[in-house]
């Protein structure tokens, strides 16, 4: 344990963050998908990849920060196809998130008054265990191995937490750091350009940050600092990507946000608003019970107990941070409970990360209590190796247990289902054909195949749900005027029939996914992964 003492200096803190991040990175690399995937609720990956690599617009709310980040990251990777690069992007973001969780936890422990005399290596160990617990938590892990926006959201959460805790430390030391507040506002704006639910986590914490000053004049000075909201607006300006990209008529252009109506349609997610608070009242207790089970699955019983203990120590900083954290949790949980989709629990990942930080504080409190007890009983010096034993035990009980329990389920390294589905569908359909896809998984996988992976195959993939939108009809008409009639019927079903009838007898028409939309009007003959439409 003597070597550990050399690592708890400023350089040692950086080394601890890097070590936790790299260990998580290694876990994610070993279990990441090698191509597009439907597992871990990853069907949206095909849509995001297609938008990113065609400079297009994906499903609402557009995710411009993610798209630009992925394109920038792709320029750094000299190998692999676009799907592999998208997965590596999430792996990298997940590892960085864990590194900043280490830094945030370590700094927060240092602010707790009763831990002022806790040994440096005990603080280091506590932050390290907390970071690995977050890294191995099931939901963050599941989203750090696929092409999705949640790993980037996790990075924004961890960086903002670290920055906020640092800002509080500097305030307590009498340092004025307006540049840090401005930088965090900019990061928050960019984070909202990735996922709007970040606002629910951030709002109570931002409000708390404006309550630190005791006198009215100081508070008014903070509120009048125009640079902070200006920085937030600059970050939010990433959404200008949407109208700029849309004006170039990309292949994938959800909602056509180059005009005001289209932009609001994209930003507000009006297509999904029926899901918001769509849960019946009788289902709320069930959903809350499910969320409790999911939380327990992240850190096991030991981790949850440590988080609760950590909350009592965080209270020493003043009620503000604890109340703000609880308010953030309530907002996010309320939204996740009421959102009627199978993946709404993924919105809770930031709350699970915050719980991990609290668990690290709880472990530091445990080590502090043990050291004080030993000192009270006459031990002049508490041996460092005993802290190490406690850390090893908690590592085994929390991140170790999670890896043991979830590795086989979250290991996507051999998953080829979605990729093979797209390849086989194109081989079956043949050049010049039309595929009507009815479900998100097939739609997005086939979009990736036709727009990114194999555009030379000349297969027109039509999203059946999108046929309700006039702008979508116009888009596919512009892309394939030989396969989409010029006249656009008014009714949804008539649009389906018009496309089928326009092509039957001249080229192959296929259906991908489950549907009874065409039953009674056409015969569907199953051929491999798709079905051919026959008169």
- 302-318 pLDDT per residue, tens: 999 999 999 999 998 87
Same domain as 109, residue 24 = yes
Same domain as 200, residue 58 = yes
Beta strands 523-527; 530-534: pairing state: antiparallel
pLDDT of 206 higher than 90: yes
In this prediction, residue 380 carries a pLDDT of 54
pLDDT-based confidence at 377, cuts 50/70/90? Answer: low
Same domain as 168, residue 263 = yes
In this prediction, residue 384 carries a pLDDT of 67
Q: Is 462:477 a contact under the CB 8 Å cutoff?
A: no
- The dihedral region occupied by 508, where left means phi > 0, alpha psi between -120 and 50, and beta the remainder, is beta
Residue 397: partners with Cβ closer than 8 Å, 6 or more residues away: 300, 302, 303
Same domain as 168, residue 120 = yes
User: Which own/partner contact pairs does 479-486 have at CB distance under 8 Å and 24+ positions apart?
Assistant: 479/251, 483/434, 483/507, 484/460
Same domain as 304, residue 287 = yes
Q: In the block, which residue shows the tokens 């030989």?
A: 482
In this prediction, residue 281 carries a pLDDT of 78
Same domain as 376, residue 457 = no
Same domain as 449, residue 304 = no
Same domain as 366, residue 438 = no
Same domain as 114, residue 55 = yes
Q: Considering 385, 410, 435, which residue would you say is the last residue of a domain? A: 410
pLDDT tens-digit series, residues 1-40? 444 444 446 668 999 999 999 999 999 999 999 999 999 9
pLDDT of 425 higher than 80: yes
In what order do the strands lie in the sheet containing 460-463?
A: 460-463, 434-437, 509-512, 530-534, 523-527
Residue 203: partners with Cβ closer than 8 Å, 6 or more residues away: 328, 331
Q: Report CA-CA distances (Å) from 245 to 119, 192, 193, 215, 264.
A: 54, 19, 15, 47, 15
Helix then strand then coil, % of the chain, to nearest 5:
70, 5, 25
Structural domains counted in the chain: 2
Q: Considering 410, 433, 450, which residue would you say is the last residue of a domain? A: 410
Percent of the chain with pLDDT over 70: 96
Look up the domain containing 524 and give its range. 417-534
pLDDT tens-digit series, residues 154-164? 999 999 999 99
Average pLDDT value for the chain:
92
Same domain as 269, residue 120 = yes
Give ∠ CA 343-346-104 in degrees, rounded to 5.
Answer: 175
Tokens of 325: 């954290």
A 10 A CB-CB count for 432 gives 16
pLDDT of 426 higher than 70: yes
Residue 525 pairs in a beta bridge with 532
Verify cis geometry, omega within 30 degrees of 0, for the bond prior to 61. yes
pLDDT of 179 higher than 60: yes
Same domain as 214, residue 151 = yes
pLDDT tens-digit series, residues 244-274? 999 999 999 999 999 999 999 999 988 887 7
What DSSP assignment string belongs to 479-527? H-TTTS-SS--SSHHHHHHHHHHHHTTTS-EEEES---TTBTTBEEEEE
pLDDT of 378 higher than 80: no
Q: Residue 299: helix, strand or coil by DSSP?
A: helix
Distance of CA 533 to the CA centre of its chain: 38
pLDDT of 118 higher than 70: yes
Q: What is the pTM of this model?
A: 0.95
Same domain as 387, residue 422 = no
Percent of the chain with pLDDT over 90: 77
């Amino acid at each position: 344990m003597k070597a550990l003492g050399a690592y708890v200096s400023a350089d040692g803190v950086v080394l601890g963050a890097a070590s936790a991040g790299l260990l998580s990175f290694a876990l994610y690399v070993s279990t990441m998908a090698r191509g597009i995937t439907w597992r871990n609720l990853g069907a949206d990956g095909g849509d995001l990849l297609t938008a990113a690599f065609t400079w297009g617009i994906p499903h609402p709310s557009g995710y411009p920060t993610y798209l630009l980040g992925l394109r920038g990251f792709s320029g750094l990777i000299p190998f692999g196809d676009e799907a592999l690069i998208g997965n590596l992007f999430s792996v990298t973001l997940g590892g960085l998130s864990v590194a900043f969780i280490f830094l945030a936890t370590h700094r927060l422990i240092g602010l707790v008054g009763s831990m002022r005399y806790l040994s440096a290596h005990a603080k280091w160990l506590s932050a390290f265990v907390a970071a690995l617990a977050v890294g191995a938590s099931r939901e963050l892990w599941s989203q750090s191995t696929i092409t999705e926006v949640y790993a980037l959201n996790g990075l924004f959460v961890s960086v903002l937490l670290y920055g906020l805790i640092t800002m509080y430390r500097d305030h307590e030391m009498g340092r004025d750091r307006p540049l840090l507040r401005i930088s965090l506002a900019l990061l928050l704006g960019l984070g909202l350009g990735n996922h709007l639910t970040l606002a629910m986590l951030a709002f109570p914490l931002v409000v708390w940050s404006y309550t630190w000053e005791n006198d009215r004049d100081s508070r008014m000075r903070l509120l009048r600092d125009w640079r902070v909201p200006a920085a937030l607006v600059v970050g939010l300006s990433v959404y200008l990507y949407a109208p700029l990209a849309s004006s170039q008529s990309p292949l994938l252009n959800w909602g056509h946000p180059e005009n005001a109506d289209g932009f609001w349609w994209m930003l507000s997610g009006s297509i999904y608003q029926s899901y918001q608070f769509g849960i019946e009242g009788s289902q709320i207790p069930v959903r809350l019970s499910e969320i409790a089970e999911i939380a327990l699955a992240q850190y096991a019983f030991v981790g949850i107990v440590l988080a609760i203990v950590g909350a009592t120590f965080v209270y020493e900083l003043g009620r503000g941070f604890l109340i703000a954290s609880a308010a953030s949790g309530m907002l996010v949980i309320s939204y996740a409970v009421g959102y009627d989709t199978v993946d709404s629990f993924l919105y809770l990942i930031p709350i699970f990360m915050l719980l991990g930080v609290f668990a690290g504080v709880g472990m530091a409190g445990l080590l502090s209590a043990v050291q004080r007890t030993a000192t009270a009983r006459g031990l002049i010096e508490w041996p460092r190796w005993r802290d190490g034993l406690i850390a090893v035990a908690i590592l085994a009980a929390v991140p170790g247990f999670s890896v043991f329990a979830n590795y086989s389920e979250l290991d996507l390294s051999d998953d080829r289902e979605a990729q093979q589905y797209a390849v086989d569908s194109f081989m079956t359909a043949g050049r010049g054909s039309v595929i009507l896809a009815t479900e998100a998984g097939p739609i997005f996988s086939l979009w990736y195949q036709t727009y990114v992976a194999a555009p030379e195959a000349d297969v027109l993939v039509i999203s059946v749900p999108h046929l309700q939108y006039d702008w979508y009809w116009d888009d596919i008409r512009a892309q394939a005027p030989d396969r989409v009639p010029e006249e656009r019927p008014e009714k949804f079903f008539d649009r389906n029939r018009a496309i089928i009838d326009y092509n039957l007898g001249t080229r192959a028409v296929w259906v991908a996914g489950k549907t009874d939309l065409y039953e009674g009007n056409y015969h569907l003959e199953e051929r491999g992964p798709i079905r051919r439409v026959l008169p």
